[in-house]
Chains A and B, each alone.
Chain A
Amino acid sequence: MGEGSVGVPSFDEFVAARASRLLRVAFLLTRDWQSAEDLLQTALMKAWSAWSRVNDEPEPYVRRIIVNAYTSSWRRRWRGELAHSVVPEPASLPSRVDEVAERDVVWQALGRLPRRQRAVVVLRYFEDLPEAQVADLLGITVGTVKSQTAKALRHLRVDPTLQPADERS
């Protein structure tokens, strides 16, 4: 395991360098580190099997596997939001209590979003992918990405008026 073609890092190098970033994406989708690790390892298994076919950039390929595995329904069986191994830190600065509380509300709301909307939010606002790339990754149209983003932001209580005009629905 681990041999790469020219221009492509070996599988081992790729895992060593990028796994923690991809794990963060998986965590934001699953909201549970254990499930995130499981999701990442599943994606890495699939990626390893196809490593010789991965082009210059394996990261988008693995990210696509993660997101698609997450949005597919069979995983809901028992890998949902059952419990958390990490306890949220309490607010430490009195002047930031409102802000922290607001963020907690948003974080909880993120967990209630439909899976595809949650994926769109993570890809747009954590991975900073352009809409076209998100659409390609999820296999939906750019218009659907826009509308799903707008709906998600409304649920998350993010001010939709602050979005660029062409992204409002």
Chain B
Amino acid sequence: MPLTETDLRALLSERSAEVPLVVDRLDRVRGRLTHRRRRRQLAGAVASFVVLLAVAAVVATPHWLNQPTTPSISAPTDPPEYYMGGKLIANATLRSAGQSSTSLTFTPTNWDLRVYVKCTGPEAVLGNVWVNAIVNGHLAPTGNCSGSGSWSIDSSGSQTQWSSWGVELGKPSTLAVSPASFPVNGASPSPLPQWPTGLLIEVGVYQRVPLDQYVFPSRPAKLHSLDLGLPSYEDLMLDSRKAGANGHWTIPVTLSQFADVTAYIVAPGAVAFSVAGKQVGACNWWDYTSYDCSVSLNPASLEAAGVSAHDGDTVEVTVTASRFSDPAWKVTRREHGPDQTAQP
């Protein structure tokens, strides 16, 4: 039976829901802007130089043009012990031609595992490097070094996936990482003939820890703003700056196929939603970057949580905020059905 438009909306929402965290996005944008500016300046300088050469009709080749340049190699940084809800259980660094690959051993005690791979180096190098990751001899999903320069194997909570790679709780597993060439036309990535100059690859395995055991990062002097304007189809339901940083509140929400509640969070902590004593969604956040997290509130999603309800019913949703150091969250209700799309 064909899917409905509602199913399609749900599919798009679900498939894009696991947004990976990029902590330093602004820094990377700034870095790319600086790089572009320098490149343009260099291009201008080179153009001027070429013109001067032509005018002067210099025929001798300066000897220094043929001298090799000394590449800059990034220094490895210690990965954070706690990251995105997980605690570091193993890490390794790969940085020179003498190491065509690196491997590490990790012993998980739960299935909430993530592997983060971070590449640093010249942009031209990163754009041409693929990274292979092999878990206990099984090729895991791989990624490239371009763009943000980091990616993750994120099969959090998937016992099936990790088990298929031979991972067992309480027993050591091996992860091997190596750089490779970019796969072309569907071919598998192949080993690089030589180590890319200046490339540094760092890998860390993180295992989820309960929120009350997670060590939050230091609070910055200034938090991100919660005061950006909301779209016209989104209504503010609860603001911690008036309600308080931590506690329980009840808000009425009318159910519809297209309704969700969204928590905007700019500090570490947890916002949970429950109906009739049953939790229907939770938004946990781990640092001081900005995060928004949506929880569907429709009869089907409530039924999945064990609550019976119908379209159009107004239910009392209990919002529970905990572990916040600041009043740094707000909750909105969003109606994103076809009737609302006509709004400007």
Contact = CB atoms under 8 A, between A and B. Distances in A.
Given A17-B264, A82-B183, A86-B141, A128 B341 contact: yes
A17 B234 CA distance: 15
Interface string A97-116: 00000110011000000000
A128 B184 CA distance: 35
Nearest to B15: A107
A41 B225 contact: no
A1 B228 contact: no
Contacts of A89: 155, 158, 161
B interface, how many residues as a size bin? Answer: 35 or more
Interface in A1-38: 1, 9, 12-21, 23-25, 27-28, 33-35, 37-38
Q: Is the interface of A mostly helix, strand, loop or mixed?
A: helix
B20 interface: yes
A45 B25 CA distance: 11
Given A38-B146, A125-B12, A128-B340, A157 B153 contact: no
Contact of A48 (B17, B33, B225): B33
A143 B295 CA distance: 34
Contacts of B151: 33-34, 85
B54 interface: no
B141 A20 contact: no
B12 A19 contact: no
Contacts of A107: 11, 15
Nearest to B266: A16
Contact of A126 (B9, B20, B29, B153): B9
B142 A86 contact: no
Interface string B129-159: 0000000000001111011100111110010
A159 B1 CA distance: 8
A147 B29 CA distance: 37
B32 A15 contact: no
Among B3, B158, B292: residue with most chain A CB under 10 A:
B3
Contacts of A17: 224-225, 228, 264, 290, 292
Contacts of B248: none
A85 B14 CA distance: 17
B147 A14 contact: no
B112 to A, nearest CB: 13
Contacts of B338: 128, 164
Interface in B1-41: 1-5, 7-9, 11-20, 22, 25-26, 28-30, 32-33, 36
Nearest to A32: B143
B12 to A, nearest CB: 4
Interface in A149-164: 153, 156-159, 162-164
B160 interface: yes
A40 B36 CA distance: 16
Interface in A130-169: 130, 153, 156-159, 162-164
B342 interface: yes
A130 B145 CA distance: 37
21 contacts: A16-B224, A16-B289, A21-B292, A23-B22, A24-B19, A34-B148, A34-B151, A41-B148, A45-B29, A45-B32, A86-B18, A86-B154, A90-B158, A103-B3, A126-B16, A129-B341, A130-B341, A130-B342, A153-B5, A156-B8, A159-B1
Given A28-B16, A33-B20, A34-B146, 5 more contacts: A14-B228, A16-B289, A16-B290, A153-B8, A157-B3
4 shortest A-B CB distances, which residue pairs? A38-B147, A159-B2, A16-B290, A24-B16
